[in-house]
């Protein structure tokens, strides 16, 4: 495994770092590869003492970093992006081996970090505020944006690198410093990313606390959420986690940026190009083994094309190859761990109880040479609206097929779940498309036409409504979440007129 060596991952790794300084602790967590179910390496869990040292270093670094002009910060982020360019393949392999997604997707994740770094470089000259006309003579008003301080970043296992990249690049260019807690299921990817960014910090002789790493499970995450020295907590994970974190951060009147679970649907209309619809559905439902927040979980198909679509979909599912995601020709890798396999098994039982009909049967798979890996077969269920399980996000490759008569009904089915992340319509009819995108259409943060629900580009703001948490990360003006807005009013006259014409004569 050259990629481990190339990324300086050993069999026992320190998991707490301020930039390039690493701390030693005693408790360990083990990273298991879902590909073969075997231990990759151990990671030292951050203890409270090291956490305190890290937060102190981060606070000190903020005082320096915030004063560096934004375009100069942009230059550092450009170097970070370049450092990830040189490590893309090794890091992509590590993501694939530790998380289980295909190598293509693993490298795509690193490409997202590179892209968002490029985006942040441009942003470094565009952190614009507005100017306003004052109602008072000889007065000027404008808005400016300042950094917040330490941004706590908590991430999920399924995007072990990219989600940190989205947050860190934006937070840093805005003048913040970061403390990242990656998923306890993918700690090595976080360590490898930290080593890459640490080199850039060291080379530029910057204060090392600019970008820090802590490792461990939700207990370590809890230190971040309750810490009043951390004004913004950006947390990506399950809705359960978001509800816990949201409460703790709100109780101290901190800010949280929540990116939580999805339950995404594609509507396939009578005018759809069925070939596109099937490709979108298969990649959307089985890519990353159904473990994307934007995974397609429901397909709502017009009754007039239902049978044809179903036949084509079943056909495509029969071509899917499940196996080691690093091997060529494999479409679907393993689930993350045994707990996920149990969730899958429980869901199959529940579906039968709720009278769903399997049109592609599900089963736990044993893959030759990887018998201890966590493999399952992507399956399809003909579902009905009464099935409670279709309302939940089961983080495995199970796809529900539903039928509709009128587009309004399809939109209503799509929106009738607690989550609101991604949605799509397959249509060549302009009226159908516009209705789907109108105020009476999709209620999700992402609405796609003639593509699946997954695979967002970094240029757009990413996030969702309702139980998906309402946060927006990545492109567009998502940077505003990482800054505080200040309205400035300047009187350059010799009088002091009051707003609203109020008189206060002495
Ligand atoms: P998870 O909620 O189990 O854990 C996510 C992270 O939160 C981990 O680092 C975990 O240690 C931490 N955590 C959990 N509870 C916490 C608490 N009470 N306090 C502090 N930290 C806590 O999620 P997961 O299984 O790693 O990831 C899968 C979930 O993430 C899915 O629901 C998926 O939809 C969601 N997700 C959402 C997005 C998005 O952008 N909307 C992106 C990726 C993943």
Q: Say yes or no: domain 264-449 is CATH 3.40.309.10.
A: yes
pLDDT on residue 482: 98
Nearest-CA neighbor of 375 among 362, 385, 366? Answer: 366
pLDDT level of residue 272 (50, 70, 90 thresholds): very high
Residue minimizing CA distance to atom 22 of ligand 1: 218
The confidence score (pLDDT) of residue 483 equals 98
User: Does the Cβ of 156 fall within 6 Å of ligand 1?
Assistant: yes
Most informative mutation of 51, 100, 153, 156 for ligand 1 (most atoms within 8 A of CB): 156
Domain ranges within the chain, ordered by starting residue: 2-124+153-260+469-480, 264-449
Residue 128: how many CB atoms within 10 A of its CB?
Answer: 11
pLDDT (tens digit, 9 = 90+) per residue, 44-97?
999 999 999 999 999 999 999 999 999 999 999 999 999 999 999 999 999 999
Residue 335 confidence (pLDDT) above 90: yes
What is the reported pLDDT for 495? 94
- 409 pLDDT band, cuts 50/70/90, is very high
pLDDT band of residue 395 (cuts 50, 70, 90) is: very high
- 3-class secondary-structure state, position 169: helix
Do 66 and 147 meet the contact criterion of CB atoms below 8 Å apart? yes
Query: What residues contact residue 313 under an 8 Å CB cut-off, 6+ apart?
Result: 278, 281, 282, 299, 380, 401
Q: What is the CATH number of domain 2-124+153-260+469-480?
A: 3.40.605.10
Query: Given this model, what pLDDT does residue 1 score?
Result: 84
Give mean pLDDT, residues 224-251: 98
425-462 pLDDT, tens digit per residue, is: 999 999 999 999 999 999 999 999 999 999 899 999 99
Q: For residue 473, what are the β-bridge partners? A: 462
Convert the pLDDT of each residue in 477-497 to its tens digit. Answer: 999 999 999 999 999 999 999
Helix (H) or strand (E) holding 298: strand 296-302
Q: How confident is the model at residue 19, as a pLDDT?
A: 86
Which residue shows structure tokens 């049967």? 361
pTM of the prediction? 0.98
Q: Does residue 505 surpass a pLDDT of 90?
A: no
Nearest CA to ligand 1 atom 17: 218
- Ligand 1 in contact with 158 (CB < 6 A)? yes
CA distance 95 to 103: 8
Pocket test of ligand 1: the residue of 101, 182, 237 to mutate, having most ligand atoms within 8 Å of its CB, is 237
* Domain 2-124+153-260+469-480 and domain 264-449 have a common topology: no
Confirm if 41 and 9 have CB atoms less than 8 A apart.
Answer: yes
What separation in Å is there between the alpha carbon of 182 and the centre of ligand 1? Answer: 10
- CB of 100 closer than 6 A to ligand 1? no
DSSP state of 498: P
State the distance from the centre of ligand 1 to the C-alpha of 435, rounded, in angstroms: 33
Interval between CA 431 and ligand 1 midpoint (Å): 38
- Note the pLDDT tens digit of each residue in 94-127: 999 999 999 999 999 999 999 999 999 999 999 9
pLDDT for 177: 98
């Amino acid at each position: 495994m050259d990629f481990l060596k190339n990324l300086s991952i050993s069999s026992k790794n320190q998991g707490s770092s301020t930039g390039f300084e690493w701390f030693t602790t005693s408790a360990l967590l083990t990273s298991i590869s879902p590909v073969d179910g075997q231990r990759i390496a151990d990671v030292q869990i951050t203890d409270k003492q090291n956490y305190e040292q890290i937060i102190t270093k981060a606070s000190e670094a903020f005082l320096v970093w915030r004063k560096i002009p934004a375009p100069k910060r942009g230059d550092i982020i450009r170097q970070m992006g370049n450092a990830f360019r040189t490590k893309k393949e090794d890091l992509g392999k590590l993501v694939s081996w530790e998380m289980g997604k295909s190598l293509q997707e693993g490298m795509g994740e690193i490409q997202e970090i590179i892209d968002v770094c490029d985006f942040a470089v441009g942003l470094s000259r565009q952190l614009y505020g507005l100017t306003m006309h004052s109602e008072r003579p000889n007065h000027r008003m404008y808005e400016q944006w300042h950094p917040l301080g330490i941004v706590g970043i908590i991430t999920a296992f399924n995007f072990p690198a990219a989600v940190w990249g989205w947050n860190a690049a934006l937070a840093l260019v805005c003048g913040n410093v970061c403390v990242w807690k990656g998923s306890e299921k993918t700690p090595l990817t976080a360590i490898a990313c930290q080593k890459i960014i640490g080199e850039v910090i060291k080379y530029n002789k910057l204060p090392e606390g600019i970008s820090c790493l802590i490792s461990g499970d939700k207990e370590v995450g809890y230190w971040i959420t309750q810490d009043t020295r951390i004004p913004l907590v950006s947390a990506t994970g399950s809705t359960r986690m978001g509800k816990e974190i949201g409460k703790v951060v709100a109780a101290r009147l901190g800010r949280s940026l929540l990116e939580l679970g999805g339950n995404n649907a594609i509507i396939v209309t009578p005018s759809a190009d069925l070939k596109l619809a099937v490709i979108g559905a298969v990649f959307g439902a089985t890519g990353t083994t159904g473990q994307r927040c934007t995974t397609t979980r429901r397909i709502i198909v017009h009754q007039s094309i239902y049978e044809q679509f179903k036949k084509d979909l079943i056909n495509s599912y029969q071509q899917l190859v499940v196996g080691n995601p690093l091997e060529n020709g494999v479409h679907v890798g393993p689930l993350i761990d045994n707990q996920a396999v149990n969730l899958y098994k429980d869901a199959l039982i529940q579906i039968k109880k709720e009278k769903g009909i399997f049109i592609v049967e599900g089963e736990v798979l044993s893959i030759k040479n990887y018998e201890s890996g966590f493999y399952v077969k992507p399956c399809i269920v003909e579902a009905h609206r009464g099935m409670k399980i279709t309302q939940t996000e089961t983080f495995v490759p199970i796809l529900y097929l539903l039928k509709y008569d009128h587009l309004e009904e399809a939109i209503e089915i799509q929106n009738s779940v607690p989550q609101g992340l991604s949605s799509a319509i397959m249509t060549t009819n302009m009226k159908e498309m516009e209705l789907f995108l109108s105020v009476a259409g999709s209620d999700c943060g992402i609405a796609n036409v003639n593509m699946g629900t997954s695979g967002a580009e970094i240029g757009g703001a990413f996030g969702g409504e309702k139980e998906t948490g309402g946060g927006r990360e990545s492109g567009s003006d998502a940077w505003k979440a990482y800054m505080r807005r200040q309205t400035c009013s300047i009187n350059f006259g010799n009088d002091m007129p009051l707003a609203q014409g109020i008189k206060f004569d002495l």
